[in-house]
Structure 1
Amino acid sequence: MTTTTGRPHGNAKYHLEKCRCPICRQASRDYENNRYRAIAYGRWQPFVPAEPVRQHVRALGEFGIGWMRAARLAGVSTGGVSKLLYGDRPRNLEPSRRVRPETALKLLAVEPTLENLGDRTPIDGTGTRRRLQALVCAGWTQSELARRMHMNRANFGRTIVRGLVEVATVKTVRCLYDELWRTNPVEAGVPAHRAAAARQIAASRSWAPIGAWDDDQIDDPDAFPDWTGYCGTPKGRSIHYRIKVPVCPPCRTAANQQQTAA
C-alpha cells in the first residue's frame, strides 16, 4: 500500500499501516521476542537490565507514544524514564544501565493499543472505511454522517475512501457505527428519498452492507465481506448473480475449485 506518512519499514509500519513486507514482519517478530524476554526479567531481584526496557520505550515512540506519555500510562515518574533514555543530564551521567523490576514491568506493560496511541497518529483505515460505507449502504447519507462526526463534507468524502486515518477518527467512527448500525435512518430523521439515494450510491460503488461483516473481520485488510451468507462456497457464486453483486474472490476461488474437481 502506498502511503504518504514517510514512516520507515519496521515494527510500527507493520502494525499501523498493515505492511507485510519481509522487513516489517521480521521487525515485528524481533520486537515481540525482545518484549517477552524483557518481561521474563520480572523474577525478583533488586535491579534488572535497562536496555530491553529502553528499547521498548523507544519502540513506543515509533507508534506516536512519546516517552512522557509512556511514563504517564505506566504510572511511573517522567524523571526516571528520562534517565533511562538520556541519563542524568545535570550530572552528565550516562543512561541508566539498570532499573527496578517493578518499573520495568510497568513500562513493558504499555502496548501500542488504539486506546494508548496519540489521537493524531495515522493508522490503517480499513475498518473505518468499511464501517462508514456500510452505514451508507443502510441509507445514512454522507452529509448526515459528516454532521454527526463534526466533520465538513469534503473531509468526510476523503475519509470514507482513505488508506490511512488518524486514531481520533478511528475512535469516532467506531462509536458512530455502534450507535447507528441497528437504527433506521428514516426513523432517525433522514428523508426517505435521500436514504434511498444513499443506498443507490453505495450499490453503484459495491460497498458492503453491515450484515456482510463480522466484528472480528471488519478491521482485517485481508478479509472479504460475506455478501451472500455462503461466500467462500460454490453456492455463493450463484447468489452473487441473483442479487447482482460482483462475485467476491472467495466465491470465485470456491467455484474454480469445484470445476477443477469435476
Structure 2
Amino acid sequence: MTRKPPPQHGERRCYLRGCRRPECVEANKRYCKQYRLATVHAPLRVDASAAVRRLAHWANQGYSHTQIAAVAKINAPEVSKLLTGKQTSISLAHARRIQTAHDPSGAPYHAMTDATGTIRRGRALYAIGYPLYRIAQDIPMNANDLGRLLMLESATVRQSIANGMAALYQRLSGTLGPSHLAVCAARRLRWDSPIAWDDDSVDDPAAIPDVTGFCGTDRGWWTHRIEDIPVCTACETAHAEWLAAVKHVGRAERSRLLGRAKAEASGRGAAIAENARELLALGETYETAAARIGVSRNHLQQELLRHPEQQLDTAA
C-alpha cells in the first residue's frame, strides 16, 4: 500500500493544513474557482444592460444615487459605476435585487421645479427680518447658494429645496425676524414681504405682488404713496399709463381727476380696518370678514396693521 506524499507548498492540501503562504492561498483559490465552474450552472456575473436601464429610469426621475442604492440594496458607488458605463457586468444577486426592487419613494433629490414660488418666499422672509443664513439652515441649503438664487432669479430649483422653503415660509411668515439690516436691504432691493402674496398666487409666475390690494392700477400707486410703501413696478406702470391717458386733458380737469384719484385711495384702508374690527368683534373669522368686505385675507390683515385701533384715554 503506497502512502501519499506529504503536502507541498503550492498545493491546496497544504492550505487546508493551515499554511497561509501566498502559493498555498493561490492554490486554494484556483480549486474553489474550478469547483464553482464545474458545479454551479448559473453564471457568476451577467450583462448589466437590463439593470442599467432600470437604474437610469429612476435617475431620470431625479432620484440621487444614494436614494437608488437604498431601494436596490446595493452600494451607491456601484450605482454610479453602472450609470456612467464604468461597469458593464453585475453579479447575479445584485441584478435580481435591482429588477425586483420597488420604485423609490419620497421626493427625488435632483428633481427640478419652477423656482418662482421659492424665490418669492425667500425674499419675503428676508423682507421681514430673517437673514439668509437663518433661512438657508432650515431648507437646508448653503447660504451663498441661496443668495445667488434670490438675486439671479434662477428659472428652476431642486424640488427638495422648494419643499423646504415652502415649509419654512409656512412656519415663519407670520412673525418678524431679528435682523433690521435684512429689512433695510430688502426695502432697498424692493423685495416684497409676505403680505404681498396670497397662498394661491405665490407660485404663479403670472401673478404680481399685491401690497395695497389694488396693485397694478393707478389707485394702487396712490395707496403706495399715501401709506409710504415702496412703489411696485406694476403700480408704476399703471400710473404712467394713467398719466399718458390724461396728458391732453385740460389743466383744471386733470387736477380734478388727480384729486379724486388720491381721495379714493386715502380713506379706503382706514375704512377696511374699522369695518374688519367690527366684524371680528361679532365673532367673524379673518376669512369671512375679508369676504364680506370684498378684499383678500392678506389685504385685510395688512390694513389692520397699517391702521391700528386708536385707544382713547379715559379720565381717572
TM-score, normalising length from structure 1?
0.49
- The higher-RCO structure (CA 8 Å, 6+ apart) is 1
Q: Which has the higher helix share?
A: 2
**TM-score, length of structure 2 as denominator length:** 0.41
